[in-house]
Amino acid sequence: MALTGIQILKMLPKTNCGECGIPTCLAFAMKVAAGQSEIGECPYVSDEAKETIGEASAPPIRTIKVGAGDSAFTMGGETCQFRHEKRFENPTGIAVLISTEMSDSDIDGRIARFNDLRIERVGVLMKADLIAVKDAKNDEASFTGLVQNVLDKSDDANLILISDNDKTLAAGAKLCGDRRPILFGANNGNTDAMAALAKDTGLPLAVKGENLDDAIAVSEKLIEAGLKDLAVDTGARTIKAAFEDNVVARRASVNKKYKPLGFPTITFPCEMTGDPLMETMIASVMIAKYAGVVVLSDLQGDTLFPLFLERLNIFTDPQRPMVVKEDIYPINGPDENSPVIITCNFSLTYFIVSGEVEGSKVPSWLLIKDTEGLSVLTAWAAGKFGADLIAQFIKKNGIEEKVKHRELIIPGYLATIKGELEEELPDWTITIGPREAGHLPSYLKEWKPAA
């Protein structure tokens, strides 16, 4: 049962020292109760209180960490069934499968695409997260060779090691060192051996069920054995079964606090169809409906990019507007004579404006001003995109060193602040740009700096 902020406060030192990064113990307790801070962030809590609060405030779906360093991957930690109730926490991991049965060129191609298919949008790096390495021949030597191959060729791939043989998995895990792979998987026939391996190595272990009931039975045994960091594959290999199992698992864990299913799920669209487009469609359903990881048969830009975007959208906080960083964004290789355009940091505005500027092929400087995610007119009405704030931004952001001219193009909807802005920026000519981003390309093609 979740503890309230007041109950948590009773177990804190109440010295308001601020070392947790929050000014008072009460505010910290409220954040812990809301799942926004971890109790371990207070260095003065007793171990006993940590355990009590940690257990009570733990999310119904356990948070599992894989890998190490900057590329570490986190799954689970979910607290709600529907995104609009709060938010979804940790984006579904996208994995590619390689197996000991594949040819060297197939394997190398998949690893290369894992490394190369990376896209940065709105300051977010979108990429696949894991490589699932499968022991398809029940042969330790070829499996460890394949694991080593992945470790050598990809610096930041997190690994899922797949074998029914605990000794083979142990050998693969040893090679991974501190790159902390997921061990996959414990089934009804090898539960004890896999539990012992997971305990020895301290690595997360995936349950590999024949079906949902079987997965629950294995999960219960592993929990009894003292394991906490689990993931679950219910064995579903059709979209209908996988969808149903994921929904049942999410409902049971979030609404009923049902422990055996309180773990992130690993799903295998790669084993549900041979058609790459159908596989992508299945993966998109799994991303929307609760998968912790989707394992794909291959990575291709045209099918991966839509999955990245879907994931980005679903795992944003619906209570906060999407924003981009306040900055100067060079588009199409601008120089000191290129036009300077300013707009707000609402990411939809950024996407549309930057897309139109990019499409115009006119080298330009796009200035993005922090308006707390509000769109142009709303930000202006809320006093966050006024002449004084724009002027401060222009003076401090360094654009004056990047261009020789002094002409600033403002959104057409801000025409009324032209005079005010000219007073604030006496060295600059303020030009009213188009109202609609769609008119920017023709506008920019005609643009010349004011004399």
Interaction site with ligand SF4 (CB under 6 A): 12-13, 15-20, 22, 25, 28, 42, 44
Which strands make up the sheet holding 340-344, listed edge to edge? 327-331, 364-369, 340-344, 407-410, 429-432
How far is residue 105 from each of residues 110, 112, 152, measured CA to CA in Å? 9, 10, 16
- What would the two tokens of residue 9 be? 């406060």
Look-up: residue for tokens 């964004």? 329
451 to 404, 419, 448: CA distances (angstroms): 12, 19, 9
Calpha distance 312→211 (Å, rounded): 30
Among residues 39, 45, 40, 35, the alpha carbon closest in space to that of 14 is found at 45
Residue 170 CB, shortest distance to ligand SF4, in Å, is 40
Q: Which is nearer to ligand SF4, 27 or 248 (CB)?
A: 27
Q: What are 424's two structure tokens?
A: 């604030």
Closest CA to 234 of 196, 290, 160: 290
**CB of 44 or CB of 85, closer to ligand SF4:** 44
Q: Which is nearer to ligand SF4, 15 or 238 (CB)?
A: 15
Rounded to a whole number of angstroms, the minimum distance from the CB of residue 156 to ligand SF4 is: 33
Give the burial class of 93: count Cβ atoms within 10 A of its Cβ; 0-12 exposed, 13-18 middle, 19 or more buried: buried
Closer Cβ to ligand SF4, 52 or 148, answer by number: 52
Bridge partner list, 330: 365
Q: Which lies closer to ligand SF4 via its Cβ, residue 18 or residue 177?
A: 18
Nearer to ligand SF4, 25 or 254 (CB): 25
CB of 59 to ligand SF4, least distance (A): 20
Write out the two tokens for 259.
């422990």
Closest approach of ligand SF4 to the CB of residue 53, in Å? 11
Pairing state between β 265-267 and 291-296: parallel
User: Could you tell me the smallest distance in angstroms from the CB atom of residue 15 to ligand SF4?
Assistant: 5
State which residue, 49 or 352, has the beta carbon closest to ligand SF4. Answer: 49
| Half-sphere exposure (Cβ direction) of 217: Cα atoms closer than 13 Å | 12
